[in-house]
Structure formats: C-alpha cells, structure tokens
Structure 1
Amino acid sequence: MSILSIGPADLIGAAFSTPLVSLAIALVVAGLSLAMSKDGRAGKAVAGHADTATQSRHASERRTLGATAIAIVILFIVENVVRGYILNTVDVVSWWRFALSLFCAALGLIVLLALVVTRGTTPPEVPVATARRTWMTFGPRVGIIAACVALAALLATTVSAGLTSSPDDRGRYIWLVVPVPNEAAIDPVRHWFYGWAYGVPVLICLALLGAATWSVLHFNASRPYLRPETVIDEKSARCEIAAGTVHVALAGILIALAGAWRFIARSGTGSQLFINGQNGGEPYDMTWRYAELAAAGGWIAPILEVIAFALLIVVAVRAFSRPNGESSRTQDALTTSDASAL
C-alpha cells in the first residue's frame, strides 16, 4: 500500500489499534471530568460529609475501591506489554486477556464486601426508622442500567462467538471457519477466533463479578444507620461506595467487551484469498455473514476502552482525595437538617 493511498480512516484505525492509546486519551478525559466536577462544586455549601466518625468508618471502603481501580489499569498495561513484547504466545490461548479485568474487579469487590459486612456494619446506637432499602437504593440508576446493558452485551457476544467457533485438532474452540465458494473443492479458511476457549473463562468471571457487585450494593444499602444525626452523612457515604462499585464493575465489563470486539473484528473481516497458481491469479471471495458487524465492533471498541479507563481513573482519584470543607458545618446545623430529612 502506498503512503499516498492511506486515508483518514486508516490513520485513525492505526492510532486506535492498541488499547494503550485509549488509556492515554482516557487520562485526558478523566482529568477534564475531574476539573469540571471540582469547578461545579466550588462555592457550594457542603451538604454532607460533616461527621468525621462517619468518614472514618467508610475510609477503608473508599480506599479498597481506589486500589481496585488502580490494580485493573496496572494489570491491564502489564499484561499487554508482557504478552505483546516479551512472551511468545503464537499458539497459546491467552484467555486471561479478556477475563483479567473481570476477575480483578470481582476480587476487589469481594474484599470490599468483606469490609462492608465486618467492619462497616455496626449495630445502631440509636434505632432509626427508615423506609425499606434495596440494592438499588444508593446505586446510580444510569450506571446500573449501563452496567446491565454492558453485561448483556458481553454475555451475548461471548455465547454467540462460542456457538460460531469451531475446534482445532486439539479440541480447542479457537477457529472461525469461513468457506471459500468455488467450483473446485477448496479447504475453508480458518481464522483464530474468540471461541469457547476464551469465552468460558470470561463467562465464569462475569458471573463472579455480577454476584460480587450485587452483594456489595445489597449489604451496603441494608446496614443500619448509627443514629439519627448521622443519617445524611451515612447516606452520602453509601451513595459514594455504591457509585464506585458500579463504576468499577462497569469498567471491568467494558474492557473485556472491547477486547472481545477487537479480536472478533481482526478475525472476521477478511474478504479475499489468493492462492498461487490458482484462479488465474485472481482472488477468491470469502465472506463471513457477520463481517460488517464485526468491523463495526472493532471501531466501537476503543470508545468503550476510553470510557472504562476514564471511570477507573476518576474512581481512584476520588477514593484517595476528599473534598475541602467536609467539617464546615456545626453539629447543631447538622442535627437540624438531619432531623428534618427523616
């Protein structure tokens, strides 16, 4: 291909061919988001987070979410560099590159769940009568819907790709078999594909992540309040924990989904086959029925990665930094506002 024949689409595709570029863009997006959020809060009165004891109770939970977000990003970078530049994975089914973000997110949320159940759940000092709370009470509705949609998309992608895949001579479901139409018999073309060999570990980790996310949201919401004057602060802290939980889970799913779509796009978009000495030098046409859909997924994958990495960066930054003026209100004002909210 001549340099002059390279179009804008080719340049964009080359730039986004690696997830590390998506990570670099996500750093900029997350920085802008945090700056806009900070500017939006500037000059506003603090509506919660005035109780130091409440903040201390939830500090370890926030740090766990932040550490999980950082671990996902770091492990993703290390895995990409090691697999791409150090290890020889020519004939290796590297299923972990799709399941790693799911497993890391699930493991971090399991640790968070243990903290919520053991250290974060304290019998109330003064019983507080409140409405019944469910796992969706404190969670961000948009984030929960987005996570459910992403989970369904990854589940559908993995199952569909698994059913489409074919085994190799070792029984590994790693091939996409594309027939070559011709009057004479020609062996079908076999592409390395996102089959069951990759999909089964992904489904297991996806189920683990879904269960861990629901459990954290459930126990985070159901634990009792300490006393009436801390209800507002506890609600604020629990909303923060629920939001971080949902965002970590969503980011883990989006990274896995983007990786699967990248892999499928590379495997299923071939259209021509040249065989030396055959067909007068002309190519054979070979078409996979979902080639256009696979190509579209390859273009969307970098967008999903940018969103996922930006979410993780924001979660990590907010987990290890607290807004200014948390203790600006007096205890009398806090008690009055809390009592009016009950």
Structure 2
Amino acid sequence: MFSNRVYTAINIGIVVLSFVESYVFPLAIVKWMIVITKYGGLLTILKEYTQTFKDAESTTKTQYKYSLKLMTTTGTRASCENGKKNLSHMSVVCISDKDHQRTQLSYCGQEDCKRIPVALGKMYGAKVHYLDLSYNSIETLRDLDQFCGLEELILDNNKLGDHAAFPPLPRLRTLALNNNQIEDLEGLLDKIRASFPALTYLSLLSNKACPDQLSDLDKDESDYQRYRYFVIYKVPTLQFLDSRRITHQERSEALKRGEFTRVRRPEAAPPVSVAPTAAGTLRPLPVDLAALGKHKGAYGKCHYKYTGKHSEGNRFIVNSDL
C-alpha cells in the first residue's frame, strides 16, 4: 500500500530521472514521451496494480460443504418410540463472500418422503436460499413457509398434484416442477402468481398441464407455443420458461392473444337420477330383436316399401312363418 506522500516522491523522482537521462542521452526524451502518453506514467500503473489486487481480495469466496444424517419417525407422537424410523441423508453448502452469504440445502432421493421434514425447517428454514427436494415422493408443501428467505426451489420428480398449496415466498425467483402430476394449468398459474411475485424462472415439463412433445405424442409445436403464450400472459414477471428465454415477440403475442389460448375442458355432467315408479324403475322402449342390423340411414328423398304379413303376395300363406 502506497501513501499519497510516497506517490508524490516517486513522481518527483521520475521527473528528475527523466531530465537527467534526457540531458545525458537526448533521444531518451522520446521514450519518456511514449511512456507518459501510452500508460499515463509509472504511478498510474502502480495504482492500477494495487486496485486490481484489492478487487481480487474483496471477491474471494469461501465455501463449506458438509453432509448430515436425518432420523425421521413415522406415526403419532405417542408412538414415536415404537414407530418406523428412517435414516436419510442431506447435503448443506454454505458460500460466503464479503457482502453476501448463500446457503444451499439438498434433500433428494428419499422414496418414503411424502412431505418436507419438520426438522429441516427448524434447523435451516431462516438460512437457506437454495432448496433442492427432487426425486422424493412429496405430495404436499406443508411447512415450506418456514423457508422465508428462499430464492430457488427445485421440486422435480415428485408427486405434487393440483391440490398442492404454495405458501407466500416473496423472494423466490426460480421454481422447477418438472415431472409431477399437475393437470390444471390455469389453477397452478393463479397460485404461482399470488404466492411468488418475484418469480423469473419456471419449468413445468413432463406434466399433463404442459403439452410436451417428448411425453405426449398427440401434441405438436403449435400446442406448446400456445401454452407458452398463456403462461407468459398469466405470469408476466417470467424471463425463462422451460429452459428457454422468453423473447420480446412472445411477450407481445402473449399480451394480444394469451387470454384466448387457455385450454377449456367440459365440466363433468352430474349423474341423472331416475325417479322410481310403482312398478319399479323406468325402463327404455322394448327392443325389436328382429330389426337389429337392418337399419339403414338415408339422405334426401326416402322411398318406403311395405313387406308385412298382409301384402298381396302373402295371401296364400296360412301359417305365421313370416
């Protein structure tokens, strides 16, 4: 570290040296002119070097990673001692620098995990910024509200359906819900817009709500594009959707036609109840077994021909074989 006085002394020394060298070697003045014009003097070079060193020192990050074992028990509190105990593993990564500290928590690959363990929220709820809960069997997001400072949430390959409720997380920017059991796209987007006002990245691949060509052969690119317009229209804060950046053209098209690209499904008709009668339940008209398979549809003018028992050609038949 050079003080201002030291810099001044060095500048004076350089000037004196340049005059002496120019007096002894007249052509040396050209060299000093080039140095001053191109680099701004030796002092500027030293200042830039010290500033670069300080910037590198301030951007140094420290990272700590450790693994923990979590013991969970299924059953009520009264039967915890005799309940089934499961031993699972989780990974915690703490990244900190001079101005910011970030904590990442991964709890993945637990097939028996149907909900977020309460212990995770109690230990790391207020500290975690990145939470990875993929490859579990999570069906509900209860106790997720304990992670109040969450910025990224990964819920891929779980069993979340349309009835899953999302707690309000005002800082959440990234949400991944790939390969779940979500069918109601509009209901999901309404929940996301209400709970995550700062969301910029959303991924819904391999859900029935997303017309993905890889998982649904009946869908094509136009179906997927209409889906993108509708999602962008419902959640205008998004910048990325399904690993693809949202373009300005898509955003303008979503404003024009996004409201009209929603998928409407007919509501299930209620079952028709038949009132019972005195002779029992009503029955349809009797079926003429002799006429089965003989009906033919006709368009335009229709000609009818009578072929019953009382026709002219059947007057000699005395039995009822007709």
Normalising by structure 1, report the TM-score.
0.18
- Bigger proportion of residues as helix: 1
The structure showing larger relative contact order (alpha-carbon pairs under 8 Å, at least 6 residues apart) is 1
Larger Rg: 2
* Greater strand proportion: 2
Please report the TM-score for the alignment, with normalisation by the length of structure 2: 0.19
